[in-house]
Amino acid sequence: MSAPIKLSDDVFEEEIGKHDGLAVVDFWATWCGPCQMIAPLIEQLADEYDGKVKVGKLDVDANQRVTARFNVRSIPAVLIFKNGEHVDTVIGAVPKAHLVEKIEAHLG
């Protein structure tokens, strides 16, 4: 089973900014209830899209630079990147089907 990669300010550019293909990043915090609600969905997506989509998690409290860079003000925020470029954002605890729909729209 594939798990989301743990991202930080230090590795974000290497892991996501230079990634060739689709990447999905969950911006979250330990104190955020809705973040805990979607955490299992993010794990499922990492497993189901293994080899097709890079899935990562970024703790907003510990990584202020990346959080500010993408103007993340509400969490959970799932940002979608294609070839290192930010192309879409999903805010809030949404159903898995909504995340899958967004991912599939950018995979093509």
- Assess if residue 50 is contained within a domain: yes
In a domain, 106, yes or no: no
CATH classification at residue 84 = 3.40.30.10
Express each pLDDT in 29-47 by its tens digit. 999 999 999 999 999 999 9
In angstroms, rounded to a whole number, what is the distance separating the alpha carbons of residues 94 and 84? 24
Confidence of residue 108 (pLDDT cuts 50, 70, 90): confident
Assigned domain for 47 exists:
yes
Give the burial class of 44: count Cβ atoms within 10 A of its Cβ; 0-12 exposed, 13-18 middle, 19 or more buried. middle
The predicted structure's pLDDT at residue 77 = 98
Catalytic residue among 7, 35, 38, 55: 35
pTM of the model as a whole: 0.97
The answer as to whether 103 is a domain residue is: no
Say if 70 falls within a structural domain.
Answer: yes
> Is 55 considered catalytic here?
no
- Domain with 58 in it: 5-93
Tally of domains in the chain: 1
pLDDT at 1 over 80: no
Q: How confident is the model at residue 76 (pLDDT cuts 50, 70, 90)?
A: very high
Instruction: Give the CA radius of gyration of the chain.
Output: 12
Q: Is residue 9 part of a domain?
A: yes
Q: Is 32 labeled as catalytic in the residue annotation?
A: yes
Residue 99, domain member (yes or no): no
C-alpha closest to that of 108 among 22, 31, 27, 29:
22
**105 is a domain residue:** no
Which entry of 22, 32, 45, 58 is annotated as an active-site residue?
32
